[in-house]
């Protein structure tokens, strides 16, 4: 859409600035406010930091393409971008599962919460979320870019992703596709099922609370996280686990745009604008 290039450049630049400022503010207030030092806010701070990194793997390059009208990318740069997108995506899946576990312990075992999720355990869970996927995603990227590319070199996408790159390969990609499915199941489907299991337990426990106020508070705390989970995993699983027969480049671009750019923009609003403690801390920061 050549006539919309500058409009899209302005639109995505505004979205990028919103993502940086909103997630950066959430990270800042959760790291500096003494009242927000519980495990839940520790995980949220890491999640906001991750969102900035995740979006920065794709949006700056897209803005450069739109602004300069030059869309060339080297093989090494393309492989690097794919690797970072996959690593940050895997980290987000695991971190969302950790955050669901945090809500499960807080609501179902509140008396054991400080003991089960002490500072050392929180550090270990976050470190594991950030590091577990690194060797697997590097290996997957290396395997994909070891394929022969002897035909078209035009990627019909706004960043280097697995489905559009595999479409350009002229060798047999069956093994690569199967490995991509296995990795997607391990890092997307399994955490998603764990999150659903946690929330089914949370809902069953919450319904037994005698106080309506306690039930409302528990549902309010979990609903924001569950909203993010459904949006992120729904679009991600549809993108990477859809059969090739149903693969559509147009639909793939829309889904990728949704889970790599639009969801990170709305996440701070979903998490923080519904939380009185976060709003109070933000007001305090603005006053300072």
User: Is 264:18 a contact under the CB 8 Å cutoff?
Assistant: no
State the pLDDT confidence band at 26, using cuts at 50, 70 and 90.
confident
State the Cα angle at 271 between 232 and 116, rounded to 5°.
90
Give the up-direction half-sphere exposure of residue 176: CA atoms within 13 A in the CB hemisphere: 23
pLDDT per residue as tens digits for the range 235-284: 888 888 876 655 677 778 888 888 889 888 888 777 665 556 656 666 66
Query: How far is it, in rounded angstroms, from Cα 185 to Cα 175?
Result: 15
State the pLDDT confidence band at 49, using cuts at 50, 70 and 90.
very high
In eight-state DSSP terms, residue 4 is G
CATH of span 2-287:
1.20.1070.10
Domain boundaries, the chain: 2-287
pLDDT per residue as tens digits for the range 80-99: 999 999 999 999 999 999 99
Of 35 and 260, the one with more pLDDT: 260
Lowest mean pLDDT among 96-105, 169-178, 180-189, 266-275: 266-275
Sort 288 into a burial class: Cβ within 10 Å, 0-12 / 13-18 / 19+. Answer: exposed
Query: How far is it, in rounded angstroms, from Cα 40 to Cα 54?
Result: 21
Query: How far is it, in rounded angstroms, from Cα 147 to Cα 237?
Result: 24
Buried b (16+ CB within 10 A) or exposed e, 36-69: bebbbbbbbbbbbbbbbebbebbbebbbebbeee
First to last CA, the chain: 46
Calculate the dihedral angle through the C-alpha atoms of 121, 188, 175, 58, rounding to the nearest 10 degrees: -90
Whole-number pLDDT of residue 222? 65
Answer yes or no: pTM beyond 0.85. yes
Q: What value does the mean pLDDT of the chain take?
A: 86
Structure-token match 């002897």, residue found? 150
SS3 content of the chain, % helix, strand, coil (to 5): 80, 0, 20
Whole-number pLDDT of residue 281? 63
Structural tokens at position 267: 């996440």
Whole-number pLDDT of residue 208? 76
pLDDT per residue as tens digits for the range 189-239: 999 999 999 888 888 888 777 776 666 666 666 677 777 888 888 888 888
């Amino acid at each position: 859409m050549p006539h919309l290039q500058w409009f899209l450049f302005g639109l995505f630049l505004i979205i990028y600035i919103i993502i940086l400022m909103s997630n950066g503010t959430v990270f800042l207030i959760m790291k500096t406010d003494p009242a927000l030092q519980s495990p839940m806010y520790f995980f949220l701070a890491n999640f906001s930091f991750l969102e900035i990194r995740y979006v920065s793997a794709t949006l700056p390059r897209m803005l450069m393409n739109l602004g300069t009208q030059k869309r060339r990318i080297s093989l090494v740069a393309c492989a690097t971008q794919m690797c970072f997108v996959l690593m940050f995506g895997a980290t987000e899946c695991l971190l969302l599962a950790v955050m669901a576990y945090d809500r499960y312990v807080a609501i179902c075992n509140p008396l054991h919460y400080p003991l089960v999720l002490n500072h050392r355990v929180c550090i270990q869970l976050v470190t594991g979320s950030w590091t577990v996927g690194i060797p697997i995603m590097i290996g997957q990227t290396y395997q994909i870019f070891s394929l022969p590319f002897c035909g078209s070199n035009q990627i019909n996408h706004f960043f280097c992703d697995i489905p559009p790159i595999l479409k350009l390969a002229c060798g047999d990609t069956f093994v690569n596709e199967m490995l991509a499915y296995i990795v997607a199941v391990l890092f997307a489907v399994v955490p998603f099922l764990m999150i659903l299991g946690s929330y089914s337990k949370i809902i069953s426990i919450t319904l037994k609370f005698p106080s309506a106020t306690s039930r409302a508070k528990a549902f309010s705390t979990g609903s924001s996280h569950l909203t993010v989970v459904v949006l992120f995993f729904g679009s991600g699983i549809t993108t990477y686990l859809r059969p090739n027969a149903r693969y559509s480049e147009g639909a793939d671009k829309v889904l990728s745009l949704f889970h790599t750019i639009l969801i990170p923009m709305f996440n701070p609003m979903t998490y923080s604008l519904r939380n009185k403690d976060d709003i109070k801390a933000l007001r305090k920061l603005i006053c300072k």
